[in-house]
């Protein structure tokens, strides 16, 4: 019998259903799991499900029965994959489920910032419209997306879908070449050119040792068009102190971030100091989380588990 342990079930909304596998099994679900509880809760488990709970090399070494780590997300940076390979533990992830939800959230952030929706909403709530004495007023600049240049960092399925939507808005799209690399082919525009010519920059890259901190002060200084910067990928891709400094110094015109380095943020997080500004929108890592996308993720997650037990490799990372 397979023992399946879901370490952080509360990372999926309660209305999302998990299809029970057809094979004989025991499924144990924990809403939350602290790092120091992982080894105990996975004792005897053959299959671990985690969304964001870390599985370290030390923990994995204490779990001889473990055969599969099924990550309930696309990113697998919470799992020590080298350690899994050493111990013969398979790692699977989720793919393609967020092709609508993440790009739509990306454009929600873009539109809200370009059209100053937060500032105008605050004005209405504060009585500024009523004081104006006319049918409209212009306290804040409003800009179209049409005709703007969109720099996309990350050319996977999400980046491609963002490009499709951008073209419908009449935007010019550029896929950034990987930082520090040339000659990647006709799809790509040189990294530096994307930084210098984009009116909006949106990030859809995985977090790896090579991409960590890819946007920092040198990159912000190169953004001569003072773009909006949107990130619905991973917080560690952007230096948070540098991002605040770039905003303060006018190197960029606004930020829309759904992801932070530490989630949830501490009170002293540099972004929390500026979160009330009208050109700053922070959302709590929910770009991926439409009900439709979450259910597709849950279905794929349990299919990955079932196919593994059948001996069929699906969405294998390790």
Q: Where are the domains of the chain?
A: 2-97+291-309, 101-282
Residue 24: predicted pLDDT: 96
Residue 104 is a catalytic residue = no
- Furthest C-alpha separation in the chain: 73
Q: Which two tokens stand for residue 304?
A: 């990955």
Query: Which residue in the list 9, 114, 161, 285 is annotated as catalytic?
Result: 285
Residue 234 is a catalytic residue = yes
How many C-beta atoms surround the C-beta of residue 132 within 10 A? Answer: 13
Q: What are the angstrom distances between the C-alpha of 200 and each of 17, 79, 143, 145, 295? A: 37, 32, 12, 9, 31
Q: Are 88 and 109 in contact (CB under 8 A)?
A: no
| Range 267-272, long-range pairs (CB < 8 A, 24+ positions) | 269/240, 270/240, 270/241, 270/243, 270/244, 271/240, 271/243, 271/244
The CATH architecture that domain 101-282 belongs to is 3-Layer(aba) Sandwich (3.40)
Predicted structure pTM score: 0.89
What does the H/E/C string look like for the chain? CEEEEECCHHHCCCCCCCCCCCCCEEEEECCCCCHHHHHHHCCCCCEEEECCCCECHHHHHCCCCCCEEEECCCCCCCECHHHHHHHCCEEECCCCCCCCHHHHHHHHHHHHHHCCHHHHHHHHHCCHHHHHCCCCCCCCCCCCCCCCEEEEECCCHHHHHHHHHHHHCCCEEEEECCCCCCCCCCCEECHHHHHHHCCEEEECCCCCCCCCCCECHHHHHCCCCCCEEEECCCHHHECHHHHHHHHHCCCCCEEEECCCCCCCCCCCCCCCCCCCCCCEEECCCCCCCCHHHHHHHHHHHHHHHHHHHCCCCCCECC
The answer for residues whose C-beta is within 8 angstroms of residue 114's C-beta and 6 or more apart is 142, 143, 144, 145, 148, 200, 228
State CA 316 to chain mean position distance. Answer: 20
Residue 263 is a catalytic residue = yes
Residue 318: predicted pLDDT: 86
CB-side exposure of 201: number of CA atoms within 13 Å? 29
Residue 59: predicted pLDDT: 97
Q: Which two tokens stand for residue 284?
A: 């709590």
Domains 2-97+291-309 and 101-282 share a fold: yes
Query: Which residue in the list 241, 263, 292, 310 is annotated as catalytic?
Result: 263
pLDDT under 50: residue ranges of the chain? none
Class for the domain spanning 2-97+291-309: alpha beta
- State the Cα–Cα distance between residues 40 and 231, nearest whole angstrom: 35
Core vs surface per residue 207-238: b (16+ CB within 10 A) or e = beeebeebbbeebbeebebebbbbbbbbbbbb
| The 68-71 sheet, strands edge to edge | 25-29, 2-6, 47-50, 68-71, 90-92
Query: Which residue in the list 105, 161, 234, 243 is annotated as catalytic?
Result: 234
Q: How many residues does the chain have?
A: 318
Residue 75: predicted pLDDT: 85
């Amino acid at each position: 019998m397979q023992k399946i342990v879901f370490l952080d079930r509360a990372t999926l909304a309660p209305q999302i259903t998990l299809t029970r596998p057809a094979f004989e099994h025991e499924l144990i679900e924990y809403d939350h799991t602290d790092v120091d509880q992982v080894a105990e809760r996975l004792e005897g488990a053959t299959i671990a499900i985690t969304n964001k709970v870390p599985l370290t090399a030390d923990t994995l070494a204490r779990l001889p029965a473990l055969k599969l780590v099924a990550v309930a997300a696309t990113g697998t940076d919470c799992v020590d994959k080298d350690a899994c390979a050493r111990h013969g533990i398979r790692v699977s992830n989720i793919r393609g489920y967020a092709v609508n939800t993440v790009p739509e959230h990306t454009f929600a952030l873009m539109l809200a910032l370009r059209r100053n929706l937060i500032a105008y909403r605050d004005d209405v709530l504060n009585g500024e419209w009523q004081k104006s004495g006319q049918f409209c007023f212009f306290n804040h600049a409003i800009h179209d997306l049409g005709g703007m240049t969109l720099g996309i960092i990350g050319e996977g399925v999400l980046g491609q879908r963002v490009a499709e939507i951008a073209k419908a808005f009449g935007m010019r799209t550029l896929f950034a070449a990987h930082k520090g690399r040339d000659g990647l082919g006709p799809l790509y525009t040189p990294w530096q050119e994307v930084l210098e010519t984009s009116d909006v920059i949106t990030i859809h890259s995985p977090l790896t040792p090579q991409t960590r901190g890819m946007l920092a002060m040198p990159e912000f200084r190169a953004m001569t068009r003072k773009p909006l910067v949107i990130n619905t990928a991973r917080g560690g891709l952007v230096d948070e102190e540098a991002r605040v400094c770039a905003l303060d110094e006018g190197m960029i015109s606004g930020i829309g971030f759904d992801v932070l380095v530490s989630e949830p943020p501490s009170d002293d997080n540099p972004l929390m100091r500026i979160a009330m500004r009208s050109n700053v929108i922070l959302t709590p890592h929910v770009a991926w989380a439409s009900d439709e996308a979450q259910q597709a993720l849950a279905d794929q997650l349990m299919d990955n588990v079932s196919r593994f037990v059948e001996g069929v490799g699906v969405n294998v990372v390790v």
